[in-house]
Amino acid sequence: MNMPEKLPFLDLITPHRELRDELCASFGRALEGGAFVGGAAVESFEREFAAFCDARYGVGVASGTDALRFAIMAAGVRKDSIVVTVPNSFIATGEAISQAGCLIDFVDIDEQTYNMDPARLREYLEEACAVDSATGELINKRLNRPVGAIIPVHLYGQTADMDPVLDLAERYGLVVIEDACQAHGAEYFSVRRQRWMKAGSMGHAAAFSFYPGKNLGACGEGGAVTTNDPEIAKTTRMLRDHGQSQKYFHEMEGFNGRLDAVQAGFLQIKLRHLTKWNEERQQAAGRYKSLFSESGATLLAPFAPDWANCVWHLFVVRVPDRHGLIKHLNDAGIGTGIHYPIPLHLQNAYRSLGYQEGDFPVSERVCAEILSLPMFPGLRPDQQERVVREVGAFLSGGDSLADRAAAEGLKLALTN
């Protein structure tokens, strides 16, 4: 039997092949100019990326993790204060908090959106914490430490429900840092402001990653902080560059966390395609949804609330027998991913935080059942039909590779 053509989970080759001449010309300019770190290429990309995010300032850094860490520090979140985030995220969210000298704490996610549940956040701030009458600080009763900041994560390309998060932050004087590492171009309809707002323009600051697989990815590593606050922008610029205000004048100890000029050149070229790429992801997501609903497959497709304009970094479904489905799809030549299999509070790295199974039940349930299907700009309808057909074959107990006829029947049912 012929092996079917491989369908990758993510295609990092085709978009770069299409932009090859432009990318190579940009690299050529960097070689000729000899400006590899900082300089005009970084500054013009920063301006364009900030404008794309409707933010006043953009500061290029070496990674999304740096962006998060610098944003926490630059926003003035005090060392040893608590930064509250969600267990359903990449570990970088947690790393940035600890490495900024803060303490990690979690609130659970919403079972439909998979993002921070504002009701759980309210409960945390109102019931697990109390305002110290002497200092006016909000103190977590269990940890006996002040709460300094909240990091909602815009996971899978969909913004967290920001209005209630921002309301609560305002009420308690907390900093809000958006983890927008998966949400370049995503939008949120703010009832408070009565308008759509871009990811990266809502909190005190936001962090973006340009890791190659992100919606806007470098040909290497990169990240950015966006903010409307000139002080946060200025401090982030110092933090990424050894705390320098000017060469060899160090206002503080910082880091080596700069965006290099070669990546900035690549990112500037790719940024011009980002809106079109995000639209292609949105079309692909819509197509998956209608194919799945026509197929009657018993899986949970992603929920998109009407206040979110999702950019579909990932297309995440939920199935009870995830392991079996991964194996079936893998045998059929279809790549998948899990984002993420273990919630942060149960990672070995965070054993010392003292959490146990059952502490964040929604995150735990979701992490056990989620599966990311192939999603990238340029994903073709026939490839999506194949994914839906194979998922349907697995869920209905058949094996379409062994039983082509059944699979063809399902395909007919899907397309009719």
Quick one: DSSP state of residue 151? -
Instruction: By CB under 6 A, tell whether 178 contacts ligand PLP.
Output: no
Decide whether 153 or 160 has the Cβ nearer to ligand PLP. 153
Task: Give me the residue whose beta carbon is nearest to ligand PLP.
Answer: 64
Q: Of 92, 177, 186, 206, which one interacts with ligand PLP (CB under 6 A)? A: 92
Stretch that binds ligand PLP, among 90-98, 157-165, 279-287, 382-390 (CB under 6 A): 90-98
Q: At 178, give phi and psi (nearest 5°).
A: -80, 130
Minimum distance from CB of 65 to ligand PLP (Å)?
Answer: 3
Does the footprint of ligand PLP cover residue 363 (CB under 6 A)? no
Q: Does 233 bind ligand PLP (CB under 6 A)?
A: no
Q: Can you tell me the distance from the alpha carbon of 179 to that of 155, in angstroms, rounded to the nearest whole number?
A: 8
Indicate whether 179 belongs to the interface with ligand PLP (CB under 6 A): yes
Instruction: Classify 110 as helix, strand or coil.
Output: coil
- CA gap 312, 285 in Å, rounded: 7
Say whether residue 93 binds ligand PLP (CB under 6 A): yes
Select the residue interacting with ligand PLP from 113, 209, 226, 236 (CB under 6 A). 209
Q: Is 85 in the site for ligand PLP (CB under 6 A)?
A: no
The nearest distance, CB 52 to ligand PLP, in angstroms, is 18
Shortest separation between residue 48's beta carbon and ligand PLP, angstroms: 19
Should residue 200 be labelled a site residue for ligand PLP when binding is judged by CB under 6 A?
Answer: no
Kindly report each contact of residues 46-51 with a partner whose C-beta sits within 8 Å and lies 24 or more positions away, as own/partner. 46/224, 46/264, 48/268, 48/271, 49/208, 49/224, 49/226, 49/267, 49/271, 50/226
Token pair 């006043």 is at which residue? 56
Residue 203 found at the interface with ligand PLP (CB under 6 A): no
Length of the chain: 416
Q: Is 90 in the site for ligand PLP (CB under 6 A)?
A: yes
In 228-309, beta strands by DSSP E: 244-246, 249-250, 308-309
Cβ within 8 Å of residue 88, ≥6 positions away? 109, 114, 153, 155, 340, 343, 344, 363, 366, 367
Segment interacting with ligand PLP (CB under 6 A) among 2-10, 40-48, 177-185, 267-275:
177-185
Q: Which is nearer to ligand PLP, 92 or 109 (CB)?
A: 92
Question: Could you give the CA distance from residue 206 to residue 64 in angstroms, rounded to a whole number?
Answer: 10
116 contacts ligand PLP (rule: CB under 6 A) = no
Q: Does 395 bind ligand PLP (CB under 6 A)?
A: no
Query: How far apart are alpha carbons 274 and 262 in whole angstroms?
Result: 19
- How far, rounded to the nearest angstrom, does the alpha carbon of residue 204 sit from its chain's CA centroid? 17
Residues in 49-68 that interact with ligand PLP by CB under 6 A? 63-65
Min dist CB 411 to ligand PLP, Å, is 34
Residues 127-166 that bind ligand PLP (CB under 6 A): 153
Nearer to ligand PLP, 210 or 355 (CB): 210
3-state secondary structure of 392: helix
Q: Is 263 in the site for ligand PLP (CB under 6 A)?
A: no
Q: How far is the CB of 93 from ligand PLP (least distance, A)?
A: 5
DSSP labels, 325-354:
HHHHHHHTTB--B-S-SS-GGGSGGGGGG-
Query: What is the DSSP code string of 32-82?
Result: HHT--BSSHHHHHHHHHHHHHTT-SEEEEES-HHHHHHHHHHHTTPPTT-E
CB of 210 vs ligand PLP, minimal distance in Å? 7
Tell me whether residue 218 is exposed, middle or buried, using C-beta atoms within 10 angstroms of its C-beta: 0 to 12, 13 to 18, 19 or more: buried
With CB under 6 A as the rule, give the number of residues binding ligand PLP.
14
> How many whole angstroms from its chain centre is CA 224?
13
Q: Which is nearer to ligand PLP, 93 or 201 (CB)?
A: 93
Phi, psi of 205 (to 5 degrees): -155, 165
Decide: is 223 part of the binding site for ligand PLP (CB under 6 A): yes
Task: Give residues 264-323 in contact with ligand PLP (rule: CB under 6 A).
Answer: none
| CB-nearer residue toward ligand PLP: 75 or 388 | 75
Residues making contact with ligand PLP (CB under 6 A): 63-65, 89-90, 92-93, 153, 179, 181-182, 209, 211, 223
